[in-house]
Copies of this chain bind each other. A is one copy, B any other.
Amino acid sequence: MPQQHQTFADLKQQERKTRQRVIVEAAERVYGKMPFEQVNMRAIAKEAAISVSSIYRYFPDRQSLFVEAFILGTRQIIARVEDHIAGGEISGLKDFARMYMDFLLEHDHYFRMMTHFMLDGRLAGRPLEKLNQAARTVLDQFDRVFAQTGANGGNRLYSHAFFAALNGILISFGKYPGRDPGDVRRHMRKLADIVAEMLETPGCTDATT
């Protein structure tokens, strides 16, 4: 597409996008600040320093805004992984697992959003599509890292299993009852190490079709 003259209408559209972004970023901050289920439109409006009804000028409903905020999160995690890889800090699946888990533990709200979407079936239409695409991007990255460091680069099943196992560890033991956070974290790391180790050991990933 050749560069056209920028019209006033174009400018307006652009400003609109900018305002949208401001709102999404505010939402994202709110999710980072308060428990996931407590986030509501009023809090987001306050954070964005506008009125609630203004949000509805830019997003048709809560879900849409919500999905955008989540997509912002997936971009962050992908960017961080790329950074670490570029910096040569990831030499195997263990490193990768640790990084992935640390990110989600630090940014609990992304983790909550992720599981929310995985478990909730109510999303549909355009927001759902957008979400699925974001999910695919993350899985693709798992695949890529896996191909570089793991034993079974060619087979998507193994990267899927890895992805699932790490999520499962976070979900199943993240709130381990009656243990202090440090212990919990160490425990989860050990579990992640076990899975990573198995997936990296050549003899262990050949048996299944």
Contact = CB atoms under 8 A, between A and B. Distances in A.
Contact of A132 (B112, B177, B191): B177
Contacts of A165: 161, 164-165, 168-169, 195
A154 interface: no
Interface in A44-65: none
A112 B115 CA distance: 11
A33 to B, nearest CB: 16
A21 B178 CA distance: 29
B207 A119 contact: no
Nearest to A111: B119
Contacts of A201: 203-204, 207
Contacts of A193: 208
Q: Which of A118, A132, A172, A173 has the most CB of B within 10 A?
A: A172
A128 interface: yes
Given A132-B177, A171-B168, A191 B157 contact: yes
Interface of A: 35, 37, 112, 115, 118-121, 128, 131-132, 135, 157-158, 160-161, 163-169, 171-175, 177-178, 187, 190-191, 193-195, 197-199, 201, 203-205, 207-208
Given A157-B194, A160-B173, A164-B171, 14 more contacts: A118-B172, A128-B177, A135-B177, A158-B194, A161-B169, A161-B194, A163-B168, A163-B172, A166-B168, A167-B172, A168-B172, A197-B204, A198-B198, A204-B204
